Amino acid sequence: MIVSILVIVVIVAMSIPAAVIFIPLAAITGNIGPLYKVACLIVSVGYRVAGIRIRVEGREQVPATQACIFMANHVSNLDAPALISRIPGRTSAFTKRSVYKLPIFGYCLKLGEYIPVDRTGNAASAQASVAAAARLLEKGLHITTFVEGKRSTDGIMQPFKKGPFYLAQQSGVPCIPVSIYGTEKMMAKGSFGIKPGTAHIIFHAPVYPGDYATREELSAAVRAVIASGLPEWMRS
């Protein structure tokens, strides 16, 4: 718990001056780039303070000049900051709508063009989120999604949601499967405590939606690739 408190103190101490400078700059100029970069820097410093090393493999396989959909498994609250800060270029992501109510942070998500999603299962809302993601891909932004929809309670991969694969087939952009492990030991679901260790992020070669006749086939292909980078016990 002491480590968690120290991380929060460091992040807050860095975030206040960064927010004062870079949020107004982004709002005035419409350029989110500097705010995005400083946010990734703050995340990296926070992980170092926590004693967490992020080991990245395969990033050279990500297409350099094309928007992609990054599809990862999800085992800890540490996953999203670690992954997003390591993706080449700028990415948007699907984010719980309730998070947008948080002061300052919610506004930063809006500036960063993150996509609010409801957990109600409402079909119209889900379609609207997919349409918003498609528009961002057309602008050249990546999309990051945790394809299980929520964190796994035991680290084992759960069934995948349909939405990301509808988006992939609709847009035709490459899917980048991402395997994440190690974070389940550092910050388990329901726990606030952070433990030091090594977080592993493996970027796999692109999977192209056009190579598959159905959404189900595409989903199965992405799942097999993600599983290939995980420890045996995490594969369902």
pLDDT tens-digit map of 167-179: 999 999 999 999 9
Q: Please indicate, yes or no, if residue 133 is contained in any of the structural domains.
A: yes
With 80 as the cut, is the pLDDT of residue 194 above it? yes
Q: What is the structure's pLDDT at 156?
A: 95
User: Does residue 43 lie within any of the structural domains?
Assistant: no
Contact 137, 67 (CB under 8 A): yes
Strand ranges of the sheet holding 69-72, from the earlier edge strand across to the other edge:
52-57, 197-203, 175-181, 69-72, 142-146, 91-96, 115-117
Average pLDDT, the chain: 93
d(CA 157, CA 121): 21
Give the pLDDT of residue 190. 72
**What mean pLDDT do residues 100-125 have?**
86
**What is the pLDDT, as a whole number, of residue 30?**
92
Q: What is the pLDDT of residue 193?
A: 85
Q: Beta strands 142-146 and 197-203: pairing type?
A: unpaired
Distance CA(96)–CA(186), nearest Å, equals 23
- In a domain, residue 31? The reply is no
Q: What is the CATH number of the domain that holds 114?
A: 3.40.1130.10
28 is a domain residue: no
pLDDT over 70 (residue 9): yes
Band (142; pLDDT cuts 50, 70, 90): very high
In a domain, 25, yes or no: no
The segment with the largest mean pLDDT, out of 8-17, 186-195, 196-205, is 196-205
Nearest to 77 by CA among 191, 231, 212: 191
| Beta-bridge partner residues of 199 | 54
Q: Is residue 59 part of a domain?
A: yes
Which pLDDT belongs to residue 19? Answer: 94
Q: Cα dihedral angle (235, 204, 219, 88), rounded to 10 degrees? A: 120
pLDDT of residue 79: 96
- SS3 assignment, position 3: helix
3-state secondary structure of 205: coil
**In total, how many domains does the chain have?**
1
Residue 197 pLDDT more than 80? yes
Identify the pLDDT of residue 123.
75
Query: Which single residue is written with the structure tokens 């290939």?
Result: 228
pLDDT value of residue 121: 66
Residue 165 included in any domain: yes
Residue 97 has pLDDT above 90, yes or no: no
Any domain includes 175: yes
- For 227, the domain range is 54-234
Percent with pLDDT over 70 in the chain = 99
Residues 6+ apart with CB under 8 A from 233: 155, 156
- Tens of pLDDT, residues 49-90: 999 999 999 999 999 889 999 999 999 999 999 999 999 999
Cα angle 154, 159, 164; round to 5: 120
Per-residue pLDDT tens digits for 204-224: 999 999 999 999 999 999 999
Distances (CA, A) of 13 to 27, 34, 63, 88, 203: 22, 18, 36, 26, 32
